[in-house]
Structure 1
Amino acid sequence: MTSSAERGMSGSMLDDFLAYTLAGSRPEAHAMKGTCVSGVRWSWLDDGVLQLEPATQEEGTRSVLASAGVHGDETAPIELLSYLVRDIANGAAALTCRLLVILGNVDAMRDACRYRDDDLNRLFSGRHAQVPDSHEAPRAAALERAATQFFDIASAERGARWHIDMHTAIRASAFERFALLPHTGRPFSHAMFEWLGEARISAVLLHTTKGNTYSHFTAQACGAEACTLELGKVRPFGQNDLTRFAGADEALRHLLAGINAANGAKGDANAALPRAFTVIDQITKRSEAFELRVAADVPNFTPFVKGTVLACDGDYRYVVSRDEERIVFPNATVKPGLRAGLMVVETTQDTLSSLV
């Protein structure tokens, strides 16, 4: 039986998981798991890592990893997850599946910065081993282990494993809310597109090569239906208008409750689904001589016409070769060797017709 002291400690953790995590609090060994008044079972697994499970589970129960704060300054989704934990714990939000909540780069969150040494969202799928001295390397390895252990005992049925990794963007975008889907070699999921539509996502960027983001890792190594969400603008803690994130918040709560698009039912109208854009190339910064020939504040998904020179670096040029290409994540300040922009073209009709 859970003691009143243990209930009080778990209450403070679950009532404000963000504050508990930012404070560096850790439960005593005897108080790392418990049961909420709602009947949901919880387990504190690591700094910023909390597992929640419904009182009863059926065979094939969905397993959902919901993460935020992989970049420490992207605070709104972190706040949403903390409120979600509170509402599940007190019974205000339904939970019918296994849930792993992860607050990613906790040290950067505490420092109110994006990262300390290296972008954590470029260190997954083992890339952290290439930068062993980086402050972020151990965290990347820990988050890989957390995801692997969570999904290792999850149902292998199609659509039973999900990962929603929530971010906010540094710059404006032609589409305020968009998603990125990792490349796995498998067809993209109609259920995921339906869920993204419910989350009021306007556009989806489809990767065509493997990457080192957290959602790439869970898709490739864990077999999850995974996505990265870009939901708005970077703001400090306490300065977010969370009503602007209501679509994603409601869709995630529906997914966890097992209702609406979470059931994977195909809709009749493709018009309700997001537009799709496929990556056709990457602009890479090769040296400090790199020059990105776009305005510093150019929005994501800005279109450019054929013949436009977008980047120069010594003998290297990136010239738009199609009638229209759009740039996403332009950033000339990255380290040499890293991506300074993604080039995409619209493929909505072909993409929607090939969903499974």
Structure 2
Amino acid sequence: MLTARPGAFIDAALTAPHAFTPDSWRVGSLTFNHSAPGIISIQPDVAKVSRCVVLSSGIHGDETAPIELIDRLLADILSEQFIPNVPLLLIIGHAEAIKAHTRFIENNLNRLFGGWNEEKNEEHYLANQLQTAVSDFFAAQPDDMTRWHLDLHSAIRESYHYMFGVIPTTPTARDVRPMAALLNDAKMDATVLSQSPSPTFSWYSANHHGALAATLEMGRVAPLFENDMREYEPLDRTLRGLLKAATLPTELAPMRFYRVTRTLTKHTDQFALTFPSSAKNFTPFEQGALLATDQGQEIYAEHEGEVVIFPNANVHVGHRAGLLATPFEPTVNQPIYVHAPQKASA
């Protein structure tokens, strides 16, 4: 049984799998199931709100503020200072990368959630384990419950928007205003609507389980326990509201919105960006500006003010080297859809 001591869940998450014993216990009206070192579910005797929530962190080992936030939340639940009204799955993901304070060991874990992986290394094993944990959690809940998944990260580079969320695309149209309003309530600076499939953890939950899902970028990377957690108090408050409140926020302003127009993919080892690798997230470009080259192919900005997000030329061939997006103003009384656009038939 985990204690309510802050840091206890982090210590458990970093335990070697062979030294871990699964455990279940009760505290008040809550049943805890600690199924793996960094995976714990919390089930109320009676869910007072018809939603279930996954909060994940540590998918990249050097992104530590989300890990601390999840740990503190669990400590408050175990001490009964905070009692959720919904089923909850908490995840601290990549223990080996966390201990090494590195993004990943061999493969980017957040590109491995497209389905079952041949378990060639630690990341492939972890992706399978986490997909199974999420699937089992959602399967244990009533079908009429709204499913949510927020995958918490920290950015590895500076950004014109210090905190922002990326909502993954889905195969069918779905109004994502509830998620966008939640991010706005959490004082996130921007929301980015993706337009193409990408095997991230939040994409997995959205596409395989119909969850309202988002990847949240919380500030900048820092060593474990060296984050200024005061920066994340609005997000912590909003997440606790998601776990407790019958009604959720609906306001979308003043948050900025962007829609992804293209994905920069590294097709060969000759891929190169034309701007400095230190460029901030949301750096804008003039229409016609040369952005990247790849074995003779030239990639230009197609829209005035097109911005780049997550630029990184040092990825594996075939992987995403950045997103290109344009700002837009949502119509607040109309649905906001984030599914991949369908080509009109001839």
Q: What's the TM-score once normalised by structure 2's chain length?
A: 0.91
User: Of the candidates 290, 298, 303, which is equivalent to residue 309 of structure 1?
Assistant: 290
1:110 CA drift (Å): 1.9
Report if aligned partners of 1:325, 1:345 keep a CA contact under 8 Å in 2: yes
Counterparts of 1:176-195 in structure 2 under 5 Å? 176-184=162-170, 185-195=172-182
SS of aligned partner of 2:69: helix
The 1:107–1:197 alpha-carbon spacing in structure 2 relative to 1, beyond 3 Å, is same
Name 1:24's counterpart in structure 2.
16
- Quick one: distance in 1 between partners of 2:222 and 2:110? 19
CA distance in 1, matches of 2:150, 2:110: 14
Distance 1:266 1:321 in 2: 33
* 1:273-352 to 2 correspondences below 5 Å: 274-349=255-330
Aligned-partner residue type, residue 11 of structure 2? A
Cα deviation per residue 1:39-64 (whole Å; 9 max; x = unaligned)?
32111111200011224335x63210
CA contact (8 A) 2:4 2:78 kept: no
Which of 223, 227, 230 matches 1:236?
223
Map of 1:206 onto structure 2: 193
Question: Match of 2:25, as an amino acid?
Answer: G
Q: Which residue of the partner structure matches residue 197 of structure 1?
A: 184
CA contact (8 A) 1:285 1:334 kept: yes
Q: Does the alignment pair 1:165 with 2:156?
A: no
Distance 1:293 1:122 in 2: 25
Q: Deviations over 1:239-280 (max 9, x none)?
A: 111111112111111111125xxx24634xx424x2211111
Change in 2 beyond 3 A, CA 1:353/1:303: farther
**In 2: Cα distance, 1:125 partner to 1:180 partner:** 17
Uncovered stretches (5+) of structure 2, i.e. residues with no partner: 338-346
Cα distance in 2 for residues equivalent to 1:264 and 1:76: 24
2:16 partner letter: G
The 5 A counterparts of 1:31-42 are: 32-36=23-27, 38-42=28-32
Answer yes or no: is the 8 Å Cα contact 2:14–2:37 preserved in 1. Answer: no
Aligned to 2:2: 10
For structure 1, which segment, 149-158 or 48-57, has the greater mean C-alpha deviation from structure 2 after superposition?
149-158
Using the aligned pairs only, state the percent identity: 31
Contact kept? 1:169, 1:230, Cα under 8 Å: yes
Q: Tell me how far apart the structure 1 counterparts of residues 75 and 38 of structure 2 sit (CA, whole Å).
A: 14
SS of structure 2 residue aligned to 1:271: coil
- CA RMSD, aligned part only? 2.0
User: 53, 57, 65: which one pairs with 2:43?
Assistant: 53
User: Does structure 1 residue 72 correspond to structure 2 residue 44?
Assistant: no
The residue number in structure 2 matching 1:271 is: 253
Distance 1:230 1:19 in 2: 24
Alpha-carbon separation, structure 1, partners of 2:296 and 2:312: 20
Q: Find out whether 1:96 has 2:82 as its counterpart.
A: no
Question: Could you state the TM-score of these two structures normalised by the residue count of structure 1?
Answer: 0.88
Distance 2:212 2:142 in 1: 13
- Of 227-236 and 190-199, deviating more is 190-199
**Secondary structure in 2 aligned to 1:179?**
strand
Indicate the SS of the match to 1:11: coil
Q: Specify the code of the residue in structure 1 equivalent to 2:138.
A: F
Asked if the contact 2:20/2:37 (under 8 Å) is kept, the reply is: no
Distance 1:352 1:125, change over 3 A: farther
1:354 to partner: Cα distance: 2.5
Report Cα offsets for 1:18-43 as digits up to 9, x if no partner: 122223375546xx11112x432111
Residues 97 and 258, structure 1, Cα contact 8 Å, conserved in 2: no
Structure 1 unpaired stretches of 5+: 1-8
Distance 1:115 1:229, change over 3 A: same
Alpha-carbon offset, residue 157 of structure 1:
3.0
Sort the Cα spacing of 1:336 and 1:350 in 2 relative to 1 into closer, same or farther, 3 A: farther
In the aligned structure 1, how far is the partner of 2:230 from the partner of 2:6?
22
- Classify 1:233/1:352 alpha carbon distance in 2 versus 1 (closer, same or farther; 3 Å): farther
- In 1, the alpha carbon distance for the partners of 2:304 and 2:272 equals 23
CA distance in 1, matches of 2:82, 2:156: 30
Partner of residue 138, structure 1: 125
| Contact 1:94 1:253 (8 Å CA) reproduced | no
Name whichever of 46-55 and 326-335 sits farther off: 46-55
Change in 2 beyond 3 A, CA 1:237/1:266: closer
